[in-house]
Amino acid sequence: MAPIENYRTNRAHDPIPQGETPAAEPSGQNPLDSPESQKRLRKIEDWWYQARQAQALSRYEMALDQDFYDGLQWRDEDKLTLLGRGQLPLVFNQIKSSLDWIIGTEKRTRVDSKVFPRGEEDVPLAEVKTETLKYVSDVNKAGFHRSAAFRDATIVGVGWVEDAIRNDPTDEPLYSRYESWRNIWYDHLSVERDLSDARYVFRSKWMDLDLAIAMFPERAAQLSAAAWTHDLWGNDDDEFYWLNNRMSADGRIITRQSYFDDAFNSDNRRERMRLVECWYREPAKVQVMRGFPRFEGMTFDQQDIVHLAVIEQGLASVYDALKMVVRCAMFIGGTLTDHGCLLQDMASPYRHNRFPFTPIWCYRRGRDNTPYGVVRNLRDPQEDLNKRRSKALFILSTNKMIADNNAFDDWDEAAEEVARPDAILKKRPGSEVKIINETDIAERHVMMEEADARYIQDASGVTDENMGRQTNAVSGIAIQSRQNQGSLVTAEIFDNLRLAIQLQGELQLSLVEQFYDEPKQMRITGTRGQTRFIQINQPQIDPETGEEATLNDITESQADFIVYEQDFRESIRMAMFETLMNLCGQLPPEVTINILDLVIELSDVPGKDEIVKRIRKLNGQVDPDHQEDPNAQAELQAKQQQEQQRAQLEQQMIQGTLEEQAAKIKKLLADVQLILEKAKTEEVNRETSAMNTIMSHQEQQANERDRRFQRTQSAIEALNAEAEKAKPKPGKEA
């Protein structure tokens, strides 16, 4: 039942003026039996009866939706008719597979959340609160409870989760759990999806007598008088009982699926009673605090020493306001003529001044805002499918016979024989017997049945492509287009889920900021299984002032709860990832490395956070979500300074190396110049020597030629002289 008795009442404040809160009378009368309390009880009971009557038809339809999902899809009268003709009431539950895809999608894409600060000084505590909420979610298995509520929303139209505080020191103070839609009645005149305009929310449960007396010992006599052993065929079945009360005036009685062999709903021997819990809003004049961020907009509590200290120090002020204040009452349900017994009536112990129940809607009817689920529009084609499949099978399994009156001696035997596939009929001679098998009619039923199955897929938005079945869509673009079409049909369901997660996160954050004021160490487990520990509200001594301080005091500031948007756009996100990956293959490498971390964030790769972190170490980028974090900014500045110092040092080293290399090159050039000059000198000397040698040789040759010429000339002259001598003298010849 409700944990009202476990609330930390020392932290609660009652904004209702004392004049409206009855005090105990000297006679010892319980203040809950005073005229003021009884007047309030009568008002609450009137709300209770009105809510049950107004929502009876809607809840009856919701119960039928649940039955259809569970395979209870035949009316009792239709079953009896089919069984009377020998036809089986077959069920081919096409609805369940479609809804299971929607339910499974939520389980596969559970989202993450983050707490954002309201000021720069609250950034570190916002990170601590984010980790705290993750720890609380893990401990309470909040994801599984939310999935159960989303399952109800998808099937019947609305699901509920509860977030409250318990005072059991052996357990986590904040708990989150699923609550069945059958136990909740809300203000049917409410329009807002967050119930901000609702006057009340009821929760009703059956409880054993001993447990109820343990919770309310001062009301033991009233509880014992209200307890009885019963089955669940009577007034406790609200969807059936109240609906028939409405219809009986018109002479109509509504029937529904019978609970054959349902031991849970019958043969009960335990003493039990029905307790009703009502969270309701009452107008009250209160004082509201302002001027101090921690308590901005809170109702001033004169019994809270922190509130008093803040006001006395002038850090905050108060102003009078008329507000709708949330209260909680619990009573034993009475009848239309007899009033019940009030067990509790108190102000809400929670600062958020909201109901502890968060609705998850599927669809809401435009006429009166009543909820309905995906099943509602699928019941007719599903019922038609079952009847046509059963009819087709019956036609294929039976034969019709037309015969003369005197054709058979035993007509029962003939009827049994004609139903056999190997029938042998003995008829009278001269009589006529005709066997008819209407297979063509069975084929028409099968065609209509297939049309019903296709309509169920189209109406639910869950196509064969979404479910991974083979279809006539061949190209990847065609398959993706049909998958996107199914995602668009179910977009409203998941958008309502996102709103519910946002509202539930706000409640959890408020409860953490209010009640988590004691030292605590929490273990946080990452996606890769790594474990780390964080501490909150740890007392320590300030080394500068020597005064006692508190490390990670998460109650000293307020923050905002935000749901990650991208987790609700899976198909679009994956399409963006594929597009950007293709684009990265066409961009220059220096551009790709700078945007690669953002591209990987769009993927569903396991351990992508670690991959992105390592990529950002390489490309020097920072997480956009942490750009406003002073610690991240300090780390970034320190990293940039280190990079600058490293760059300067590297530049100096490079400059020194360049100068050293330049000196070496200059010396090398000088040496080369000397070598070249020396080589040039040696070459000139070699050329001069060679030239001198050539000239000396030529001179020698010339001298030799001159000598040979002279010798030749001398020889010629000698020969000429001898010739002259040899010539006869003219005188002698004569």
Residue-wise pLDDT for 251-267, tens only, equals 554 554 444 444 444 55
pLDDT digits (tens, 9 = 90+) for 421-444: 667 777 778 787 777 777 778 888
Beta bridge partner(s), residue 594 = none
In the prediction, which pLDDT does 733 show? 47
Q: Which two tokens stand for residue 10?
A: 């020392």
Give yes or no for residue 661 having a pLDDT over 70: yes
In the prediction, which pLDDT does 1 show? 46
Most confident segment among 115-119, 392-396, 544-548: 392-396
Q: Which two tokens stand for residue 315?
A: 């850090």
Give yes or no for residue 360 having a pLDDT over 60: yes
In the prediction, which pLDDT does 260 show? 40
Give yes or no for residue 177 having a pLDDT over 90: yes
Q: Calculate the alpha carbon distances from 427 to 271, 321, 420, 432, 594 in Å.
A: 67, 96, 16, 8, 92
Map out the domains of the chain as residue ranges.
199-353, 377-484, 569-621, 633-687
Burial class, 194, CB count within 10 angstroms (exposed 0-12 / middle 13-18 / buried 19+)? middle
Name the strand (E) or helix (H) holding 247. Answer: helix 238-247
Distance CA 683, CA 681 (A): 5
What backbone torsions phi and psi does residue 364 show, to the nearest 5 degrees? Answer: -130, 130
- Dmax over CA atoms of the chain, in Å, equals 212
Q: Calculate the alpha carbon distances from 561 to 510, 518, 534, 612, 723 in Å.
A: 10, 22, 20, 24, 145
In the prediction, which pLDDT does 529 show? 57
Residue 369: pLDDT band by 50, 70, 90 thresholds?
A: very high
Of 2, 581, 598, the residue nearest 343 (C-alpha): 2
DSSP state, residue 122: G
* 22 or 403, higher pLDDT: 403
Place of tokens 């949330």: 326
Name the strand (E) or helix (H) holding 322. Answer: strand 317-332
Give yes or no for residue 570 having a pLDDT over 60: no
pLDDT digits (tens, 9 = 90+) for 507-537: 999 898 888 888 888 777 665 556 777 788 7
In the prediction, which pLDDT does 375 show? 94
Q: Which letter, b or e, does each residue of 390-420 get, where b requires 16 or more Cβ atoms within 10 Å of its Cβ? A: bbbbbbbeebebebeeebbeeeeebeebbee
Distance CA 12, CA 263 (A): 43
Query: Which of 384-393, 411-420, 612-621, 628-637 is the least confident region?
Result: 628-637
List the strands of the sheet with 158-165, edge to edge. 174-179, 158-165, 357-361
List, in order, residues 6 or more apart from 183 with CB less than 8 Å away. 203, 204, 205
Give yes or no for residue 732 having a pLDDT over 60: no
In the prediction, which pLDDT does 633 show? 62
pLDDT digits (tens, 9 = 90+) for 687-699: 778 777 878 877 8
pLDDT digits (tens, 9 = 90+) for 212-231: 999 999 999 888 888 876 55
Give yes or no for residue 279 having a pLDDT over 90: yes
Of 232, 247, 133, the residue nearest 182 (C-alpha): 232
Residue 271: pLDDT band by 50, 70, 90 thresholds?
A: confident
Mean pLDDT for the chain overall: 78
In the prediction, which pLDDT does 211 show? 92
Q: What percent of the chain is predicted at pLDDT more than 90? A: 23
Give yes or no for residue 20 having a pLDDT over 60: no
Inter-residue contact 431 to 403 (CB < 8 Å): yes
* 624 or 363, higher pLDDT: 363
